[in-house]
């Protein structure tokens, strides 16, 4: 995208050459309207930009209040750069099905054309009023997001559990216009990890269902409903299923034990403690907020007669 107000002649000629060789370029508003120096070459620059805009791979995007784009004032701008990129056939590797201010994504592709995606729901829905864009200031959405993401290419999607490392093949996705479309359901401050196996042919899978969960097993795709009612499933081969399911009533679980590992912070910031016992020696390692380390050792006799075991720190 060309958005700079200043552009030198050599740079303009290089961009024109790229455009003639097929590089898609979006020009924002009145960008490239003058040269960086008082060299009297604005007319020559204008001629190059005029020729540039005549190329088939060039689109000009509009932006409101472009004259103040570089004045350093915190003002929100609306533009149609994204739409112009789409007109040129330029789409993201991971494309959001609908605009939102909740998801951040990062994607990677390996040497075998498999894709990996990180998605993070960052929006607590309490900061929109600070936006410089008027349309965002009044935005109000829940902290959960349910949407679709489109991955460029034909893949089989997998969900990766970041805690356990377990990988589960997803069953509910579809292919559409050269993209793999799958569902995302993510609460605020949560992340999701996905992997996408590149394939040449389509494997039987679910393309649409009203069930809450859909995943792949050795025996084929499976759906799971958490409530009673009609469950509908459409498969990639055109076959549809409809079944009236009855979910069991909720019941209390009384015969269970729970072990909790707490990862929350100590009451005093920076006050970290770790205790372990090895061969009868209990060691407590404490790191305080003043970055001083105290090591306390209590000895429990193990019958060896050793009263003062050596301690290495």
Reported as a single tens digit per residue, the pLDDT across 286-313 is: 766 555 445 555 544 444 444 444 443 3
Q: How far is Cα 115 from Cα 108, in angstroms, rounded to an integer?
A: 6
Using alpha carbons, select from 174, 185, 106 the residue that is nearest to residue 144: 185
Report the C-alpha dihedral over residues 183, 185, 188, 192, rounded to 10 degrees. Answer: -60
pLDDT at residue number 118: 96
pLDDT at residue number 140: 84
pLDDT at residue number 70: 56
Sequence-ordered list of residues with C-beta below 8 angstroms from that of 296, at least 6 positions apart, any chain: 283, 284, 286
Eight-class DSSP state of 178 = T
Kindly state whether residue 63 falls inside one of the protein's structural domains. Answer: yes
Kindly state whether residue 26 falls inside one of the protein's structural domains. Answer: yes
Final residue of a structural domain among 90, 116, 148: 90
Final residue of a structural domain among 90, 120, 149: 90
Final residue of a structural domain among 90, 110, 141: 90
- Ranges of beta strands (E only) in the chain are 25-28, 58-61, 94-96, 103-109, 115-121, 145-152, 155-160, 167-169, 173-176, 179-186, 191-198, 206-209, 213-217, 220-224, 229-235, 240-245, 272-278, 281-287, 293-299
Structure tokens at 64: 């409101």
H or E element at residue 136: helix 134-137
- Count of the separate structural domains present in the chain: 2
Kindly state whether residue 283 falls inside one of the protein's structural domains. Answer: yes
Kindly state whether residue 171 falls inside one of the protein's structural domains. Answer: no
Q: Rounded to two decimals, what is the model's pTM?
A: 0.68
pLDDT at residue number 7: 92
CB 188 within 8 A of CB 144: yes
Kindly state whether residue 278 falls inside one of the protein's structural domains. Answer: yes
Structural domain including 279 reads 267-298
Kindly state whether residue 7 falls inside one of the protein's structural domains. Answer: yes
Kindly state whether residue 83 falls inside one of the protein's structural domains. Answer: yes
* pLDDT by residue, tens only, the chain of 313 residues: 888 888 999 999 999 999 999 999 999 888 888 898 888 899 999 999 999 999 999 999 988 765 555 565 556 677 889 899 999 999 889 999 888 889 999 999 999 899 999 999 999 988 888 877 777 888 888 899 999 999 999 999 999 998 888 999 998 999 999 999 999 999 999 999 999 999 998 888 899 999 988 888 888 888 988 889 999 999 998 999 999 999 888 888 888 888 877 777 666 666 677 788 888 888 887 766 555 445 555 544 444 444 444 443 3
Q: How far is Cα 2 from Cα 15, in angstroms, rounded to an integer?
A: 9
């Amino acid at each position: 995208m060309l958005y700079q107000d200043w552009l030198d002649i050599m740079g303009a000629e290089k961009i024109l050459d790229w455009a003639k060789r097929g590089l898609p370029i979006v020009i924002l508003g009145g960008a490239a309207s003058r040269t960086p120096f008082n060299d009297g070459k604005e007319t020559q620059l204008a001629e190059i930009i005029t020729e540039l805009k005549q190329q088939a791979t060039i689109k000009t995007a509009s932006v409101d209040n472009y004259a103040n784009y570089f004045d350093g004032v915190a003002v929100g701008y609306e533009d149609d750069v994204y739409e112009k990129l789409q007109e040129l056939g330029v789409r993201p590797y991971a494309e959001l099905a609908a605009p939102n201010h909740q998801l951040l994504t990062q994607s990677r592709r390996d040497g075998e054309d498999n894709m990996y995606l990180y998605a993070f729901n960052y929006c607590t829905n309490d900061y929109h009023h600070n936006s410089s864009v008027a349309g965002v200031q009044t935005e109000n959405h829940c902290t959960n997001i349910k949407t679709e993401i489109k991955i460029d290419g034909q893949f089989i999607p997998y969900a990766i559990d970041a805690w356990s490392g377990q990988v589960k093949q997803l069953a509910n996705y579809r292919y559409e216009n050269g993209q793999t479309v799958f569902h995302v359901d993510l609460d605020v401050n949560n992340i999701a990890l996905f992997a996408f196996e590149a394939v040449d042919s389509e494997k039987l899978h679910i393309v649409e269902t009203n069930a809450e969960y859909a995943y792949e097993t050795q025996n084929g795709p499976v759906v799971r409903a958490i409530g009673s009612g009609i469950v509908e499933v459409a498969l990639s081969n055109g076959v549809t299923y409809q079944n009236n399911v009855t979910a069991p009533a909720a019941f209390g679980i009384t015969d269970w034990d729970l072990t909790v590992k707490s990862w929350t912070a100590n009451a005093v910031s920076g006050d970290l403690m770790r205790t372990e016992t090895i061969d009868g020696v209990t060691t407590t390692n404490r790191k305080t907020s003043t970055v001083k380390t105290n090591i306390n050792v209590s000895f429990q006799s193990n019958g060896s007669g050793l009263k003062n075991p050596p301690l290495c720190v």
